[in-house]
Amino acid sequence: MARAGLDKNPREVAEMFDGVAKGYDRTNSVMTLGFDRRWREWSRRVLDAKPGEKVLDLAAGTAVSTVEYAASGAWCVAADFSLGMLLGGAHRPVPKVAADALRLPFADDSFDAVTVSFGLRNFNDTEAALREMARVVKPGGRLVVCEVSTPTFRPFRFVYMRHLLRVLPLIARFVSSNPEAYKYLAESMRTWPDQRALGEVVARAGWEDVAWMNLTGGMVALHRGTKPAPPEPA
């Protein structure tokens, strides 16, 4: 079965997600002890999409997050480059688009908000993807990123980084259709920037008013930002 490396070759990443698509939602809930639902609820609250708004849910996978956002009455589209993942969510009543985060098939300034949950870490150029997201959002539009992060309580951080992430692939042997993929997952979690460092990448990519909040002791963080309005003509 496919397993991506830390160079995050797009073809390998897409194949790996095709391989875990079957049963992804169930495996995700088991591996996160059901916290995934709460993280999605928090993402929806921070996104605060209104009826009539257009929202892009990038790296949406099986669209489990997209339906959560669509419950607000906004028009939400799920985009992902793994056809396996999109097909896994075929029963979910939201529009779905096969798309690479680094070359989005949308015009400039198309959306009121863009969001990505547990996807940003898999893109092979984080900053370029954040710039591409800014391109498709209207000036004043919002970004919400939900991603694994660094636990804030130092003793727990040590245990989590040193031990818990090593256990993850072992648990995956029992619940996932592709346990190899969870080795990549654990490696990519260990090497991912902490809250502040990611905030700096988001700001460098052109988003302003960047802020973050920790969820579940910082194991997950929500980053938000706003696309700057164009300068007033002189």
The binding site comprises 62, 80, 100-101, 117
Query: Where are the extended beta strands (E) located within 104-216?
Result: 111-117, 137-148, 208-215
CA angle, 127 as apex, 122 and 132 as ends, to 5°?
90
Q: Tokens at residue 37, please?
A: 């639902």
Q: Tokens at residue 35, please?
A: 């916290």
Q: Which is nearer to ligand SAM, 39 or 207 (CB)?
A: 39
User: Does 126 interact with ligand SAM (rule: CB under 6 A)?
Assistant: no
User: Does 133 interact with ligand SAM (rule: CB under 6 A)?
Assistant: no
User: Does 64 interact with ligand SAM (rule: CB under 6 A)?
Assistant: yes
User: Does 148 interact with ligand SAM (rule: CB under 6 A)?
Assistant: no
User: Does 10 interact with ligand SAM (rule: CB under 6 A)?
Assistant: yes
**Would you say 116 and 142 are in contact if contact means Cβ atoms under 8 Å apart?**
no
CA angle, 101 as apex, 145 and 173 as ends, to 5°?
75
Q: Which of 123, 119, 73 shows the shortest CA–CA distance to 94?
A: 73
Least distance to ligand SAM from the beta carbon of 230, Å?
27
Q: Which residue is nearest to ligand SAM (CB)?
A: 61
Q: Which spans of this chain sit near ligand SAM (rule: CB under 6 A)?
A: 10, 13-14, 17, 28, 59-61, 64-65, 80-82, 85, 100-102, 117-119, 122-123
